Structures are given as structure tokens and as C-alpha cells.
Structure 1
Amino acid sequence: MTPKSVGSDLVVFTLIINHILSGISGAATTSKTDLECEFPPKLEEDLTHIRRKRLTTETGLVCLEDYPYTVSVRLHNKHWCGGAIVHKQWILSAAQCFDYVTKQEVTVRLGSVFRDFGGRILSAVEIVRHPNYRLDQYYPENNLALIKLNLPMEPSPRLQPVRLAPGDADRVPDYGELVVTGYGAVTTGQIRHGVNQELRRMMAQEVDKAECRQLYGGDYQLQHDHMCLKSVVKGIALCAGDIGDPAVHFSGGSKGGELYGIALFSGTEECAYKSKPGVFAKVSYSRKWINSVINDSSGTAKDSSES
């Protein structure tokens, strides 16, 4: 066998091996994607995963196509708060995320199931806090803010605005599923830096405000526009970096949900073992303000839930 024929045989052999490996890799990817993109989300009973302490699923991953409104709001290019796309150029989050923060310090990662890579990062050109939000109030009402992005997004299966809850909605409907999504910590007191972290979800339910006040006692003063949500599975809760996370209600088999709450407070106990519900701002109470900001900026009369 001549050197030339040996070289040709090696090329052919390499191509065959690469083709086989590609097929194996492709099959694995397909299987994993199918599992991650399950919809509607099922209630997980398996809490043996190391990240059971927080927004988690049986596999530890969720599919962004199921929650394409979820974003990572970043301070100095590190995850800081959660947020929800409510318009092609606007993100809704918690106002407290921007106390003593300028728009030049804020960016938003959209369209990635991972907190630290993928998707697209856009700059904030405007941050509009609710006019009745008070920085000097320890437990502020109207704790919502809108972030205007430097460019409008192009809607896709991984990038979609979420509809706002009806303006007269005082409680989350008893039917369907309530899902909180975010990129926050799994260990008390820490936002996970230095490693790539994936999007997680928490299946939640509303807690009556009177019961919530009793649970918190003097630890937190609930306001008129606050609501309390807790995980339907023990050992899962909000944690550091989850302020601003959206709580969206899904009904039936439709992928389109409605945004009912924005996370404000995770409680005073360790994230892994907390028994107190998280405190959220009611989006319905500020729907008119959200629409007015977006409509004034865009020069249209569209509802903020439209793209």
C-alpha cells in the first residue's frame, strides 16, 4: 500500500467515524430537547437533583420555548435580577433592582436558557420606575420598573412577550398552572457567579394574604398591591437573584400565559428550607401604567402584551 493510498483510507475512515459520532450526538440532542421542551410542564416529585433547593425540574433544565418571555437583567454584565418581556422593546422587572443604579450599568440577556452565555445581550436606554414607587419606603408599594432596550427584538419561539393579567384580576385563577421562572441562586445569600447556570422554574400557588401576614409577622409589611406565592413542592423557593422573576399563569394546553406577579422578596429563612411564601407585586394593579409607558414611547395605542 502506497503512502498516498494510506492517506486516502485515513480520510475515508475519519469521515465515517465523524458521521457515526454525529448521528449519535444528534440522537442524544434530540432526546434531551424533547425532554426539556415538555409542555405543559408536569409537577415534579423527584427532588433528588442537587438543585432541588430552588426553581427546578426533574432533569434540572427547562425549555426556553415554554417560557420565552424570561430574561436575565444584568448589572455590570453579571446576573442581577429577573424580568419578563412585555413588549418587543420593553422588559418588566422590580423597581428595587434599580435603586442607585444608572441605565448605563444595565444590560439584558434574552433568548438563552443559560444565564451566562447564548442568546443576545441588549443595552438599557431607559429605566422607568413606577411614579408612586418610593425609594425611602422600606416595604415599597408600586415596586415595578420598565426597561427599554436599545433595539426591538425579533419575535421567535425563544423570544415572545407575555400578556399582562387582566386589570381587574385580584387573585390568580384556581385552575391551570402558575409558573415562576428565573436564573437566581440555589445557595442562600449567593448569586451564582463563575459558572453557567440554566433557567429553572417553580410551580407555585397563591397564599391568602391574611395567612401570609400571619406567617411573616413583623418580618415583612405586605402592601395592597402585593401577593404571596409559594411552591407546590416543599424545598423549592425563591433565592438570591430571583427578584424580578415573573409569575405566569397558564390555562389548558395553550403556551400563551398571563403575567400575574413580579418577585420582590424571598423570605428570611435559608432558600433551601424556607416555609414562608415569596412576595410578588401584582401586575394587574399597574397594568394601566405599563400600557401608558409603552404606548407613549412607541407612539401607538397597542396593549403592552402585543408584540
Structure 2
Amino acid sequence: MINTEEEVTQCTGEIENNFSSRVEPRRVTVNQAGTRLPTGVEPEAIDVTVYYTRAEDLTPLHSPGCEATALLVQINSVNWTTVCSALTTARRLAIYHPNELKLVLDTVMPHLKLHIASLRSSVCKTALICATDFLKAFGELMFIHLQSGSPSLLAILLQKAALDKRFVMDEAKRTLSMMINAMPCKVLLNMLFLHVRDTNCKVRAIVAKYLTETVEKALCERERGIECCIDYNHEYLLQAVATFVNDRQPGARESARQLLSKLKDTYYHDTSSDEWFRFVERSLGKPTAIKILRTV
């Protein structure tokens, strides 16, 4: 642990010396939506792929305590390459020194959220990769960070997966997939239900996709004897199906069909069609039940 101001200064100085390749600082402005807008003269050509290193190719840090302390300064730099380097350091902390990172996580997360919303794609992608490693390292502890703020980190991830450049969309989807793998199904359902009626149809399609994956995960756990949150979320899932089934996006409609099929196969596989209809009718009312069962 770092206990004195002198030690903090010394550690910060040590870390700054590691950034041997410097470019001229660039001004950064923030718009009303909280998105960082890069300005100023572009630096010389930089190979940004060094910031996309696979987790298994990263190495432990020699002084994780000092690195964690200096991270708070580096991740807030106006120099985007310094930010990307700091995000890579944060990844190494998450992978090899999670206890050190946990001490500063509450301070680091708002900056990570801001960089995920960056209009500079290389910064955004690096931040998304970092978020993936954070989710893997901390799992359910990330819940509060995914939900807090407006827009929340989860809302930003859903938007990035639906509306950004292709390589950013792909990275955001990998981050969301890690979220599904790392967090409990009950928590996932509660978070995703809040976004079922998002005003953007492309975002709704992404929500439908990961809601379906969450149900698949929960049903697999049910087969292994683990308490299944789907057992007491039928009504909310059917309401989601009713929202998605006539959506403009084909992906949302397909997810609605899959969700309805999984619910029927799991809970009403050996019963008559009349019992299945009455089950849906109790949750949605007769007109909606007729409509979605006819569509699906």
C-alpha cells in the first residue's frame, strides 16, 4: 500500500518514465452528452494494434501498487496514446493483480465509461477490451458500475454494439458476451428488462439477442439443478416477446420466436396447446396472446 504523498509522487514519476515514446499533447473537449471529442494536430502514425493485445499475451506488472496509483493520472490524460497505454495497464492489473485494481476501481470506472463513449475508435475499442477484462475479473461486482449514471455503462455498450463502426460494434458485442458469461442470470435479466423498450430499434435487437442468451444460460443451469430465475420471470419474458415479435428489426423478431419456443419447450412440452395458450393469455391478455402465438 502507498501511505505518503512522497511515495505517491515517486510511484507516479516511475510510471511516467515508462512512457518513453511521447507525442505532443492534444486538447480534448467534452460535448453536452459527455463524449470526448479529439481536437488538435494528429500525432505521427501509431500502430494502434499494440493496444489490442490479447489477454493471454499480457504480462504481470513489476510494481502493481505503484501502477494502480499512477493509473488515475494516466487514464485521465489529454493525450489519447497515454490513455490507451493506461487502459492496457488497467487490463494487466485486472488479469494479474485484481486486488490492487479493486482499491481504485470506483475511481477508474467513470473514466473507462467516458473512453468507451469516445469518438476516437481506437480509444473506444481499447476501452471496450479493458471492460471485457474487468467483467471477467470482477463478475457480479461490476453490477453497480454497469447500472449507475445516465446514460449507464450498459446503455452505452448496447448502443456501441448496435450503432457504431463495424469493428467497434464487434468489440462491444464481445464485451456484452463476457457480461453474460460472468454475471448471474437474475442480475442480467433485471438489467436487460430495463432496455426492452429502448427507442432505437437496432438497440432493441441487441437487447433481444442478449436476453435470449441469458435465458439459454439460465435453462442450462436449471438442467444442472441450479435454481432458475426463469421460473419466476415468465410474465416479464412474455412481455418482452410481445415487444420484439413485431419489431422492425429481423433480429429482434427472431429472438422473440426463440424465446417463446424455449419457454414452451421447457415448461409446456408435454401439455396441450390449450394449456400453453392459457399460460400466455394469463400474462398478456387474450388479444395479445392470439397475436403473438399466430405470428410465431
Q: TM-score, normalised by structure 1?
A: 0.22
Q: Which one has the bigger helix percentage?
A: 2
Specify which structure has the bigger relative contact order, considering alpha-carbon pairs within 8 angstroms and separated by 6 or more residues: 1
Q: TM-score, normalised by structure 2?
A: 0.23
Q: Which one has the bigger strand percentage?
A: 1
